[in-house]
Amino acid sequence: MEKKTQNNHEDILSLANKLRWDQGGAFHDTVIESIYAEAARIARKTVQQTGTPNAYNLDLRIDRILTSRWLGFPIMFLMLALVFWITVSGANYPSGLLAGLLIDTLHPILKNGATSIGMPWWLSGVLVDGAYLSMAWVIAVMLPPMAIFFPLFTLLEDLGYLPRVAFNMDNLFRKAGAHGKQALTMSMGFGCNAAGVIAARVIDSPRERLIAIITNNFSLCNGRWPTQILIATIFIGGAAPAYLAGVVSAGAVVGIAVLGIFLSLVVSWGLSKSVLRGEASAFSLELPPYRPPQILQTLYTSLIDRTIFVLWRAIVFALPAGIVIWLVANVRIGDLSLAEHFIHWVDPVAMFFGLNGVIFLAYIIAIPANEIVIPTVLMLTVLSTGMAGVGSGTGVMFELDSIAGTENILRSGGWTLLTGVNLMLFSLLHNPCSTTIYTIYKETNSLKWTLVSTILPIVMGLIICFFTTQLWRIVVG
């Protein structure tokens, strides 16, 4: 019986095969045509245009400006710059408040509490100075900018502007063999690479989705903007005449971001010509009408879906990393801590790339979040130079209120203009944070592609830093 039905099924399939050959090639089109004809007939019968279509005309006029050949890109950069300006300047105050609460107030209380219940110094060091403090840093520096950026981004999405961005960028990405919607995941990456990687779900083809995921790290994320701005202000702005300092350092940061976009196109192109070979798939992108955004709902969903989600992942990684950071600064072999051993050992190699051992170590142990790289660098610099009277103790991350104070520490750690430039390059081109790496693994389900996305940017960063350094030494001397 089973056998018989099986045969019947195969009969149907072979009949279908035979009939298919009888039809000739065009019948698929005739089917679609008859559906379209029917749809047109029904629409003609039931829809009536009375008067003029007002809103539609307005939409068209706005589109003509936003997607125009000359104005499209400048408007896009202006919008993005505006979103970042609001994010960076708006986050300062709440970040300060959170830092004041979690780090300046709560941290000493916890520390004293630990001492008063007789906790051994190393345990309170690991738990309070290590785990708690790194979590507090991550919350204080990550939460406010994300809570501002994501709702703004979602508002642009709701308004209907983002599809226009994709429309503008489509050509560039298609030439790179990637999907036009990669423009969206890239812009999302400017807020947070982990969110950008998740957003790559909007891309259908696995090949193009992988390209979008691998290259998302080239979008300078929220965690790296403050580093860029700080280092540019100290070293690049500092090297320019005072009246130009602001413009020059801002220009340098924008330059790094644009370099990131450029590299993301180059790498997409390279991938689509090599391991991820294939044609860019065509897709129809509808430009939806502009609609008033639903503000409350936008706030709710962007906070829950994106901000809290990403923050939670970051905290999960920050706790163990904080413990490691404290341990490497406090566990001693002989006269020196593990951190110092490592820094001295790596220093000669790092110099080759125009960086230093502190930077290398900071990028390794501050992997949970780019936000804690600078505090870690400061802590390690003070530790390795044996500076007295700065910071809050061995293995305790800190940041200074004054830029001049930060500059002093870095300069006494041997930093030069070249170190600053290289740090900015390396901050753009290094492995994604652990939150993003984990997200990439979750999304691709592949160890191989997770490794590629992690290692490719480091290799590129080292190469670019190396050539910058060698060139610099030849030209500047």
Partner 1 sequence: MSNQHNCENCPVHHRENLIRLGIAMDRVDYVVALAGNPNTGKSTVFNNLTGLRQHTGNWPGKTVARAEGGYSWGEKRYKVVDLPGTYSLLSTSTDEEVARDFILFGRPDVTVIVADATRLERNLNLALQILEITDRAVLCLNLMDEARRNNLEIDARNLSKELGIPVIPAAARQREGMPELIAAIEEVASGAYVCKPRRVKSQSAKLNHAISTLAGKLAADFPGLPNLNWVALRLLEGDQSIIEAVRSGDLGRLSSGVLSTSA
Smallest distance, partner 1 to C-beta of residue 22, A: 7
Our CB check for partner 1 shows the closer of 56 and 121 to be: 56
Q: Which stretch binds partner 1 (CB under 8 A): 15-23, 66-74, 83-91, 123-131?
A: 15-23
Smallest distance, partner 1 to C-beta of residue 269, A: 23
Provide the token pair at 217.
């790290």
Write down how long the chain is.
Answer: 477
* Residue 273: how many other CB atoms lie within 10 Å: 12
Q: Does the protein bind partner 1 through residue 60 (CB under 8 A)?
A: no
Provide the token pair at 131.
């785990």
CA separation, residue 291 to residues 50, 161, 295 (Å): 22, 10, 12
Q: Which stretch binds partner 1 (CB under 8 A): 152-160, 228-236, 413-421, 459-467?
A: 152-160
Site string for partner 1, 295-334 (x = CB under 8 A): --x--xxx--x-----------------------------
Q: Does the protein bind partner 1 through residue 208 (CB under 8 A)?
A: no
Q: Which stretch binds partner 1 (CB under 8 A): 29-37, 64-72, 319-327, 408-416?
A: 29-37
Site string for partner 1, 353-392 (x = CB under 8 A): ----------------------------------------
Question: For partner 1, which residue of 102, 131, 138, 157 counts as binding (CB under 8 A)?
Answer: 157
Q: Does the protein bind partner 1 through residue 445 (CB under 8 A)?
A: no
Our CB check for partner 1 shows the closer of 62 and 364 to be: 62
Our CB check for partner 1 shows the closer of 167 and 415 to be: 167
For helices 434-444 and 447-475, the axis angle rounded to 10 degrees is 140
Q: Using CA atoms, how far apart are residues 395 and 339, in angstroms rounded to an integer? A: 10
Q: Using CA atoms, how far apart are residues 339 and 119, in angstroms rounded to an integer? A: 25
Q: Does the protein bind partner 1 through residue 100 (CB under 8 A)?
A: no
Question: For partner 1, which residue of 102, 129, 141, 158 counts as binding (CB under 8 A)?
Answer: 158
Q: Using CA atoms, how far apart are residues 465 and 176, in angstroms rounded to an integer? A: 25
Q: Does the protein bind partner 1 through residue 105 (CB under 8 A)?
A: no
Q: Does the protein bind partner 1 through residue 121 (CB under 8 A)?
A: no
Question: In b/e form, how buried is each residue of 7-20, taking b as 16+ CB within 10 angstroms?
Answer: eeeeeeeeeeeeee
Q: Does the protein bind partner 1 through residue 278 (CB under 8 A)?
A: no
The answer to whether the CB of 431 falls within 8 A of the CB of 437 is yes
Placement of tokens 């350092």 in the chain? 249
Provide the token pair at 364.
């390794």
Site string for partner 1, 31-50 (x = CB under 8 A): xxxxxx-xxx-xx-xxxxxx
Q: Does the protein bind partner 1 through residue 107 (CB under 8 A)?
A: no
Q: Does the protein bind partner 1 through residue 20 (CB under 8 A)?
A: yes
Our CB check for partner 1 shows the closer of 200 and 220 to be: 200
Our CB check for partner 1 shows the closer of 18 and 69 to be: 18
Our CB check for partner 1 shows the closer of 270 and 293 to be: 293
Q: Does the protein bind partner 1 through residue 285 (CB under 8 A)?
A: yes
Q: Does the protein bind partner 1 through residue 202 (CB under 8 A)?
A: yes
- DSSP bridge pairs for 336: 333
Q: Which of 171, 187, 251 is nearest to 219 (CA)?
A: 187
272-280: Cβ within 8 A, 24+ apart = 272/176, 272/177, 272/178, 272/207, 272/211, 273/177, 276/207, 276/210, 276/211, 278/177, 278/205, 278/207, 278/208, 279/177, 280/173, 280/174, 280/177, 280/178, 280/179, 280/180, 280/208
Our CB check for partner 1 shows the closer of 50 and 402 to be: 50
Smallest distance, partner 1 to C-beta of residue 81, A: 22
Smallest distance, partner 1 to C-beta of residue 80, A: 17
Q: Using CA atoms, how far apart are residues 358 and 340, in angstroms rounded to an integer? A: 9
DSSP 244-268: GHHHHHHHHHHHHHHHHHHHHHHHH
The residues that touch partner 1, with contacts defined as CB under 8 A, are 5-6, 8-13, 15-16, 19-20, 22-23, 27-28, 30-36, 38-40, 42-43, 45-56, 154, 157-160, 162-163, 166, 181, 184, 201-204, 283-286, 288-289, 291, 294, 297, 300-302, 305
